[in-house]
Chains A and B, each alone.
Chain A
């Protein structure tokens, strides 16, 4: 890095980025990401940037420029149900295709998997997880629970130290992705500056807009081979508006649960009809299946009154 004398670039040499791109098969993966995941534009743009950077790093290596192993550790912040885990899974695939991790698996852990219950229990536990994550991506969900400022004897600090050491020394063996809610992650990074400096990519996951949530349901319905009637779509629009006002709204996760419950209600409705039903009946979600939700039972807060 600090070398003043630049490497004489083999200028005559040329490299075909497009061929490299095609070779890495990353195109289909990114296209899949675009098609499968609704919304999340800033996240997708960031992933494209990272993918492009990795591709260029590969190209530089092939022409003999040293660029050092890039730091790939990431932090995903965002509200619940905004797709952090889903994107992390995709990320493992992208890094694998570009050859920056060897195996491409994702190991998802929380505080419980890393921190032990008594003295001397934490280090082996954390090391065991790290060994299993080698060659892939270690995804630490709700990473801020590792740090408990109110208890200075907390074993979480030990896990953090081991993690930091491996994140620094074995960058080419594994990539760590930390995930959690924005505000708590910010506080976590403030109290652990070591983490902030070792993480190159901070990616924020925005909340889904109403229209995006609706298209998520339609995608889910399509995958499960259901059809949503026009009236039901209207009902869903109302449902999303209502659900947003209520506590514990978890974006796509709440909507997926709502869809699953509407399938239950549809089944009950069909069984109660009891008579012959058509194939069309079997695949159609009607407005009644949505309107039956308890979300509609609680009136909107004062603003509508």
Chain B
């Protein structure tokens, strides 16, 4: 099951050229770009690992692409995403975030139903990948 998180999530995966253009857009808005990776695909997992520090004062996408390539090479079986942070007062938040790399095989999620009092049903999403310990997920 293909993971859909962040901007462009329902589009086919972006090519490197398209990713470059999105980075150019973010740089044009003076947003700082950061790269993160994880092997825990749960949608509520907001704590992805940082790949180096967020990059400030860049002028060109080539620098970010270089880091994306390095991160992909180091973590071929993990998710990699780019975050664009807007430091403008009043925003001070991530304005753009999209996945730029995903594992070859994504097993998807299991829906767990828990029966609660009065036959109420409570639902939980469980990623099959997280059955294995970190580092050994996704092959």
Proximity bits, A287-298, B CB within 8 Å = 1, else 0: 000000000000
* Chain A residue with Cβ nearest B55: A131
Residues of B within 8 A of A130 (CB): 63
Residues of A within 8 A of B61 (CB): 134-135
Residues of A within 8 A of B60 (CB): 102-103, 134-136, 173
Nearest CB on A from B110, distance (A): 41
For B66, give its contact among A102, A103, A131 (CB under 8 Å).
Answer: A131
Alpha-carbon gap, A115 to B58, bound state (A): 19
Q: How large is the interface on A (under 10, 10 to 19, 20 to 34, 35 or more residues)?
A: 10 to 19
A170 within 8 A of B: yes
Residues of B within 8 A of A128 (CB): 55
A44 within 8 A of B: no
* Chain B residue with Cβ nearest A170: B62
B136 within 8 A of A: no
Alpha-carbon gap, A130 to B64, bound state (A): 11
* Chain A residue with Cβ nearest B59: A103
Interface residues of A in 90-107 (CB under 8 A from B): 102-103, 105
A132 within 8 A of B: yes
Residues of B within 8 A of A131 (CB): 55, 58, 62-64, 66-67
Q: How many A-B residue pairs have CB under 8 A?
A: 37
* Chain B residue with Cβ nearest A136: B59
B92 within 8 A of A: no
Alpha-carbon gap, A130 to B52, bound state (A): 15
Residues of B within 8 A of A174 (CB): 62
Residues of B within 8 A of A135 (CB): 59-62
Residues of B within 8 A of A134 (CB): 58-63, 66
Nearest CB on B from A132, distance (A): 5
B57 within 8 A of A: yes
Alpha-carbon gap, A124 to B57, bound state (A): 15
Q: Which of A133, A135, A174 has the most CB of B within 10 A?
A: A135
Nearest CB on B from A107, distance (A): 8
Interface residues of B in 4-63 (CB under 8 A from A): 52, 55, 57-63
Proximity bits, A151-191, B CB within 8 Å = 1, else 0: 00000000000000000001001100000000000000000
* Chain B residue with Cβ nearest A102: B60
Alpha-carbon gap, A132 to B63, bound state (A): 7
Nearest CB on A from B7, distance (A): 23
Residues of B within 8 A of A173 (CB): 60, 62
Nearest CB on B from A173, distance (A): 4
* Chain B residue with Cβ nearest A124: B52
Interface residues of A in 101-126 (CB under 8 A from B): 102-103, 105, 124
Residues of A within 8 A of B58 (CB): 131-132, 134
Nearest CB on A from B65, distance (A): 9
Nearest CB on B from A254, distance (A): 33
Alpha-carbon gap, A103 to B58, bound state (A): 11
Alpha-carbon gap, A128 to B52, bound state (A): 10
Residues of A within 8 A of B67 (CB): 131
Nearest CB on A from B61, distance (A): 8
Given A131-B55, A131-B64, A134-B63, 12 more pairs with CB closer than 8 A: A103-B60, A131-B58, A131-B63, A131-B67, A132-B59, A134-B59, A134-B66, A135-B59, A136-B60, A170-B66, A173-B62, A174-B62
Q: Which 4 A-B pairs have the closest CB atoms?
A: A135-B60, A131-B63, A134-B62, A134-B60
List 9 A-B residue pairs with CB atoms under 8 Å apart, sorted by A's residue number.
A130-B63, A131-B63, A131-B64, A132-B57, A132-B63, A134-B60, A135-B60, A135-B61, A173-B62
Query: Which residues of B are in contact with A by a Cβ distance under 8 Å?
Result: 52, 55, 57-64, 66-67
